[in-house]
Amino acid sequence: MSRRYSIWALARNALSHHENWPKAWRSPEPKPAYNALIIGGGGHGLAAAYYLAKLHGMTNIAVLERGWIGGGNTGRNTTIVRSNYLLDENAHFYEHSLKLWEGLSEDLNYNVMFSQRKVINTCHTLGEREATVRRYNSMRLRGIDAEFLTREDLARLEPAMNLSQDVRYPIVCALAQPRGGTARHDAVAWGFARGADSLGVDIIQNCEVTGIDRDPVSGAVTGVQTTRGAIKSGKIGIAVAGHSSQVAAMAGIRLPIESHLLQAFVSEPVKPFLNTVVSTGAAHFYISQTDKGEVLLGGELDGYNSYSQRGSLPSIEHVIASATEMFPRIGRLRFMRQWAGVMDMTMDGSPIIGKLPAPGLYMSGGWCYGGFKATPGSGWCLAWTIAKDEPHPLNAGHTLERFRTSHMIDEKGAGPFPKAH
Amino acid sequence: MLLIPCPWCGPRDETEFVYGEAAVNRPSDPNSLSDQEWTEHLYFRDNPKGEHTERWFHRAGCHRWFSVRRNTVTHVISAAWPPGQEPKP
Amino acid sequence: MTRQVWRTESAGHGIDRSQPISFGFNQFRLEGYQGDTVASALLANGVRLVGRSFKYHRPRGIFGIGAEEPNALLQIGSGARREPNTRATVQELYQNLVAGSQNHWPSLKFDLGAMVGLAGALFPAGFYYKTFIADPKRWLWYEKRIRRMAGLGEPPADADPDDYAHINAHCDLLIAGGGPAGLAAALAAGAAGARVILADENPTLGGQLLLAPQQVDGMAGHLWAEQAQAQLAALPNVRLMTRTTVAGVYDHGLFTMVERCADHLPEPEPHQPRQRFWRVRARKAIFATGAIERPIAFANNDRPGVMLLSAVRGYLERYGVLAGRTAVLFANNDSIYPAARELAAAGLRIEAIVDARPGLSDAAAAAKADGLHVLPGHGVTAARGLREVRGADIAPIDLAGRIKGAAKTLACDLIAVSGGWNPAVHLHAQSRGRLTFQDDLAAFVPDAGAAPYASAGASAGAYDLAECLAQGFAAAEAAALVLGFRTTAPAIPAAAGDPVGAAPALWSVQAPKGARCFVDFQNDVTTKDIGLAHRENYASVEHLKRYTTLGMGTDQGKTSNVAGLALMAAKRGEAIPAVGTTTFRPPYTPFTFNAMVGGQTGEIGHPIRRTAAHDWHAANGGVFTDAAGWSRPMYYATEGLTPQQRIDEEVLAVRNAVGVVDVSTLGKLDIQGPDAAEFLDRLYTNRFSNLKVGRGRYGVMLREDGRVYDDGVTMRLADDHFHMTTTTNHSSSVFQHLEYLLQVVWPDLRVFVTPVTEQWFAAAISGPNARALLADLAPEVDVSNAALPMMGMAEGLVAGIPARIFRLSFSGEIAYEINVDADYGLALWNGILTAGGPHGLKAYGTEAMGTLRIEKGHFTHAEADGRVIMDDLGLAGMVNAANDCIGKRSLGLPDLVAPGRKQLVGFIAAAGERIPVGAQIAALDDLDAVQDALGHTTSQAYSATLGRHIALGLMKDGRAMHGRKVFALSPVLGQRAAVEVVPPCFYDPEGGRQRG
């Protein structure tokens, strides 16, 4: 069991020049067999392992990570956490995830810096106001916090915002989720890793899964082939969003997913002047300021299938242009670093959390833009599904089978075009 | 920013084009397909990490649809051709 | 004004002593010269302390001389031009420049934030993960305080007053870097006739030639650079760009460059952009970006007065500034010896030349023979002094940095350090080139093997001047040859630079417990932090970076990344390349957001589409909204009326007299060809092949997944000629969809589609008086019900203009849509308005149009939100069983035939109640209750016709719910209404009025 973290522990360790801190997690050699395997050491996979061990008593399990934990989309996003969804399945799932976030630092004894600074959606036309009010009203009927903000409210909350009517898309009003906010992305992976490790979970880095073995008769999974040897297990969870298609293909399964790039970038750090997270549908961007002081921006997909983790210019030019219109003061800040994540884009824009058509095989993927905020909820539901071999009601709608019945969970109504969600 | 070789106009910046989707061919008689087969066409994709055949529309140009073979990791475009004229690999 | 106490009498070919420049730093008024950077001018004035570090608020001075600078970040300018985090080492001095230090309170000298530094033992790397573990409310409180301590400079106070520009360019060869290798490459490629762009971030070409005395072709290096520049400037095929950074490498030969056109001026000249963002497509590129000197870490190595050796040399050579009075030089390579001689000659007192290497190199032996105080096998173990260097502790060390003997302290005010160089491989790595670790340089160099672009000179690991020149020539010749240019190998000039010796790996000197040796100055990452990361198993390169924030500052780790990696490798007991490299992401150096925006905002970024009658709308009180980029009047504001009163007037004009609305924004497609009718049959759920010429039909298109996609009326102009209308929102995507079907799916169909939305202006007149008005407008057209029935059409002059008249109705009244050539749109509109007076005509906007269609129960994209199918809208009957259209196959999928789908209904409010916008439909009249929604409203209006608030909406099993009393709730607005569920058509459901 790792030593508990606290201000006292920090003070005590300061006396010994911080030379006695234990490893946050071990780096064990893989065992030949486990009761369950999680493929993917991102936030989702580590969370699944943590909850499997903590809530379902499955501790003889391992997380297999191709590179270093938290190195995929966990470390490449805009760290926004919210649950402002319109459709039933998503609203309940993301709200459950948000509630887990609210207790996460204490649960993990690791500060994930979940900052409920409010997530604001600005509206720029009456039509947009109507659609957004509808969505936020639906949240309130479900018991999820939501509020309406006038332009005066916005002037008070975000003094740097341009509320003039003399711009291309003047702001009409905004809706907000006060409990929404941001979290420290790396810390989520590390916190779950440390928590899972302390419960006995083996976290195995630099271990790429190269094949999934299935019983030729029953089709059930029996284990995996990896770059560090074969590992047996009758239960395998896939949590590799961005690369779900590749891993599922190892079990001969095709998915309703395409991989697309989503970019984000930061400015140089400056003193705090943005207080909340602001997103806008009309101009397609979201903005917040990190605790370090960087202005963090993200926007839309690059628009074509890609695994390159290297973004294109047009989409970020567009985001910066829109953002400087809404926040003119950022125009003179400097663009410091850009990166791109590979998104699993599904055909309806909603995730797949559940069983795959091979006994013992499960997945949590297809996260589109929504993966980071879903981290604890996804892990929680995947753990439940693996442990019970059936979905929890919270993820009962997010099946792969819905693409056979056309039961789409399509928040945008954009149809079966992954790039459109 | 990609430089896309439109078979009619030559290489042009990505911003002139609209990305369609993976080059899946519409079944000639959808009514003859089972739900399983039809939803496979509608929703399921190979999503390769590597060579990918896809369709683009030259919106700010000749208004033509065409196919492109592009590597989804390196973005290198190895071929582009008008509908129905796929070059032999 | 202070005297420039550290300016030498003679050196400094980069400054013009005849042009003094006055500038401000904090409360001081100082003087420098034309050609100075802020850093060289500050040093000339003896200013050492220029800022506070990010985390511990430690005093910091100028460390480097260029883009690599981690410490000297200043706020430049004031007001809206105030720019934070500007590197003093690259900011050129201009008259009355205002510079300020950052990240301290109340002052630079006395910063309370430094308390964090004093208690620094409590705040090792990642301390925040281990403490403040609390519920989110308490964390929010802590976070607010932490945020204030971080963040460096203040953001600009207001919107940027300057202009920026975008420019695109093409070239055969882009050369990044105008040092010896880049100049050589440009000379060779230029002579071969290639179109060359040579970009260098500095105001003067020459690179390293400017920063140390060297000889090329028998002349001083900087003079040779000047001569090369003049030669290149004379070539029409070469574009020389100074103050221009190649920032990013993207796909398919695209490079971004940022040109700082006016950052060296107090403000841009009139009509001059401050910065220009270049997008360059280059067929080939050569990266000649030089190398970045690396420090060696020792205790308190961040004190002002500890500097890179090459920077100290450069300040003397280029700016005539001695960065101190008494110096200790510390290095692991031979560059220390020429440096020592130059600096001593300029009057710097050299206390010791501390050479970490155990033996004496030739250069060391020569220096020793000349009486210089050379200490081989020694290292600086600590800097003394609090706010600046007062001395250096020196002890025997080995090459692993271990202390091997007693230390002694030498008094000095400058410690100049050189730990060797790291090639600036950033662009190479961005272009997906691989890196290999070269042991003798202890550095990553480009792997030339699979590299898409060449690297030359120091950025390729060639530090010898002659070799740099040779590589530049060779790379350019190779590129020119591949591009098909004939090259005439120019003679490589003789060159004499520094002796090049190996720089053995030495990253840090052992430090006593409790002392801090900084690796990343800007983010305050110490060798101990790296040890801690390793101890806690944050041992991969990326974990190290993220856990300690190593290399995440504005300098992006230019002086720290490799050292951090090496120290981690040592902890892990592995070789550096086995541990990995870091990722190099664009941009090379940070640049202004607005450069990338390039003025592409407002109407330039998102053009506004205006109809031909726009000016009339604007002049007559039109209040506009944006609809798919079009500017459309919502209503016409009238003095003395509230918007709702005015909308009511517009609605009632249509219901009782006649109204006119501009419907030009509807998508229009001209469809021609022998198979046009067959094509429409395959597009719409209903048939068009049996439509008579001269008649129109309403059709709905589905997406392939069976959901409603678009709708509109299509008129048959001839057997093989149709005029299709689409919704405003989908006009462009429907065109694309049709072309897809014709070109890819059904290439055998002989059909041409032409988008003609902009070619036609369309005005709809509707109301009981519409026919009489049309008769007045088009006296030659038979407008009788028999000649021009519902869904009929006519052609003729309307208001004297050739027009197509379609009789169709969205409002439910007799209505005609008059289409004319867009150039005559305003004339038609005015003609209608003039003729309409006697008929009680009023112009109406989209709000009234919306109200009229809600009264009629017509759906728009508010109802058909991409999730609904025909049956949900009550339109199952429009799906022709015999027709096989796009999307029809999906209608049989299980979820589309499942019970419990949401269906279109109407809601009518109790008298006096107002249905809120965006309401949820629920059984309990309670805004705070958690309850299942029964449905939601999709659009609502006050119906002046009915005297009630009405709405359309979607409701589970809605058609079975007619007559139910439910509630429309808007908790976020605190509004509610009691409503009754009714069929979606509120007005004239039989449709007699529109056919009349």
Please answer yes or no on whether C743 and B83 come within 8 Å at the CB atom.
yes
Contact in structure between A335 and A324 (CB atoms under 8 Å) = no
Mean pLDDT by 10 residues, chain A (421 residues): 81 91 97 98 98 98 97 93 97 98 97 98 94 97 98 98 94 97 97 98 98 97 98 98 97 98 95 96 89 95 92 91 95 94 97 98 95 98 98 98 98 94 90
Chain C residue numbers touching B28 (CB-CB < 8 A)? none
Task: Tell me the nearest-neighbour CA distance from B10 into chain A, angstroms.
Answer: 20
- Dist CA A26 CA A47 (whole Å): 16
Q: What is the DSSP letter of C37?
A: B
C484: left (phi over 0), alpha (psi -120 to 50) or beta: left
Q: Which amino acid is at C436?
A: T
Chain B residue with the nearest C-alpha to that of C431: B74
The answer for residues whose C-beta is within 8 angstroms of residue C76's C-beta and 6 or more apart is C38, C82, C83, C86, C91, C97, C98, C99
- Please tell me if residue B43 touches chain A, with a CB cutoff of 8 Å: yes
Facing residue for A419 by CB, picked from B14, B19, B70: B19
Is the pLDDT at C157 greater than 70? The verdict is yes
Task: Give the burial class of A35: count Cβ atoms within 10 A of its Cβ; 0-12 exposed, 13-18 middle, 19 or more buried.
Answer: middle
Q: What is the pLDDT of residue C365?
A: 96
- Residue A80, CA distances (Å) to A42, A101, C159, C794 in order: 16, 12, 26, 57
Tokens 């002139």 sit on residue: B16
Q: What is the mean pLDDT of residues C944-953?
A: 98
3-state secondary structure of C162: coil
3-state secondary structure of A396: coil
Q: Which amino acid is at C777?
A: L
- Please tell me if residue B37 touches chain A, with a CB cutoff of 8 Å: no
- From the candidates A334, A348, A412, which should be mutated to test the interface with C, based on the most C CB atoms within 10 A? A334
Interface of C with A in 915-954 (CB under 8 A): 917-920, 922, 927, 929-933, 936-937, 939
Chain C residue numbers touching B84 (CB-CB < 8 A)? 747
The answer for residues whose C-beta is within 8 angstroms of residue C711's C-beta and 6 or more apart is C698, C699, C700, C701, C727, C859, C864
Beta bridge partners of residue A148, listed in sequence order: A175
Could you tell me the two tokens for C405? 């003997």
End-to-end CA distance of chain B: give it in Å, rounded. Answer: 26
Chain B residue numbers touching A248 (CB-CB < 8 A)? none
Is the pLDDT at C580 greater than 90? The verdict is no
Please answer yes or no on whether A334 and C936 come within 8 Å at the CB atom.
no
Facing residue for C704 by CB, picked from B42, B74, B83: B42
- Dist CA C74 CA C97 (whole Å): 12
Beta bridge partners of residue B54, listed in sequence order: B22, B68
Question: What is the residue-averaged pLDDT of chain C?
Answer: 95
Q: What is the pLDDT of residue A1?
A: 38
Could you tell me the two tokens for C107? 């002052």
Please answer yes or no on whether A413 and C866 come within 8 Å at the CB atom.
yes
- From the candidates C434, C751, C889, C890, which should be mutated to test the interface with B, based on the most B CB atoms within 10 A? C889
- Considering only residues C580 and C712, tell me which one the structure prediction assigns the higher pLDDT: C712
A 10 A CB-CB count for C994 gives 19
Beta bridge partners of residue C969, listed in sequence order: C920, C976
Q: What is the pLDDT of residue C2?
A: 56
Is the pLDDT at C28 greater than 80? The verdict is yes
A 10 A CB-CB count for C834 gives 13
- Please tell me if residue B64 touches chain A, with a CB cutoff of 8 Å: no
Chain A residue numbers touching B40 (CB-CB < 8 A)? 254
Task: Answer whether 0.80 is exceeded by the pTM.
Answer: yes
Is the pLDDT at C177 greater than 60? The verdict is yes
What digits encode the pLDDT tens for the residues C324-365? 999 999 999 999 999 999 999 999 999 999 999 999 999 999
Q: What is the pLDDT of residue C486?
A: 87
- Please tell me if residue C170 touches chain B, with a CB cutoff of 8 Å: no
Q: What is the DSSP letter of C387?
A: S
What digits encode the pLDDT tens for the residues C786-809? 999 999 999 999 999 999 999 999
- Please tell me if residue C897 touches chain B, with a CB cutoff of 8 Å: no
Chain B residue numbers touching A245 (CB-CB < 8 A)? 45-47, 49
End-to-end CA distance of chain C: give it in Å, rounded. Answer: 91
Please answer yes or no on whether C251 and B26 come within 8 Å at the CB atom.
no
What digits encode the pLDDT tens for the residues C437-485? 999 999 999 998 888 999 999 999 999 999 999 999 999 999 999 999 9
Is the pLDDT at B1 greater than 80? The verdict is yes
- Considering only residues C149 and C554, tell me which one the structure prediction assigns the higher pLDDT: C554
Chain C residue with the nearest C-alpha to that of A131: C918
What digits encode the pLDDT tens for the residues C502-517? 789 999 999 888 899 9
- Dist CA C591 CA A295 (whole Å): 14
- Please tell me if residue B76 touches chain A, with a CB cutoff of 8 Å: no
C964: left (phi over 0), alpha (psi -120 to 50) or beta: beta
- From the candidates B2, B43, B68, B76, which should be mutated to test the interface with A, based on the most A CB atoms within 10 A? B43
- Residue C844, CA distances (Å) to C645, C758, C858, C938 in order: 13, 21, 18, 22
Q: What is the pLDDT of residue A339?
A: 92
Q: What is the pLDDT of residue C122?
A: 86
- Dist CA A149 CA C893 (whole Å): 41
C979: confidence class by pLDDT, cuts 50, 70, 90 = very high
What digits encode the pLDDT tens for the residues C272-326? 999 999 999 999 999 999 999 999 999 999 999 999 999 999 999 999 999 999 9
Q: What is the pLDDT of residue C149?
A: 87
A 10 A CB-CB count for A224 gives 26
Is the pLDDT at C253 greater than 50? The verdict is yes
Contact in structure between A91 and A152 (CB atoms under 8 Å) = no
Is the pLDDT at C690 greater than 70? The verdict is yes
Task: Tell me the nearest-neighbour CA distance from A214 into chain C, angstroms.
Answer: 30
- Dist CA C706 CA C906 (whole Å): 24
At how many degrees (to 10) do helices C309-319 and C336-345 cross? 40
Q: What is the pLDDT of residue C404?
A: 96
Could you tell me the two tokens for A4? 């508990």
Q: What is the pLDDT of residue C163?
A: 96
Closest CA to C780 of C795, C764, C763, C758: C795
Contact in structure between C729 and C891 (CB atoms under 8 Å) = no
Is the pLDDT at C262 greater than 70? The verdict is yes
3-state secondary structure of C653: helix
Q: What is the mean pLDDT of residues B36-59?
A: 98
The answer for residues whose C-beta is within 8 angstroms of residue C491's C-beta and 6 or more apart is none
Is the pLDDT at C1 greater than 50? The verdict is no
Q: What is the pLDDT of residue C501?
A: 66
A202: enclosing H helix or E strand: strand A202-204
Chain A residue numbers touching B21 (CB-CB < 8 A)? 417-419
- Please tell me if residue C889 touches chain B, with a CB cutoff of 8 Å: yes
Max Cα–Cα distance, chain B, nearest Å: 42
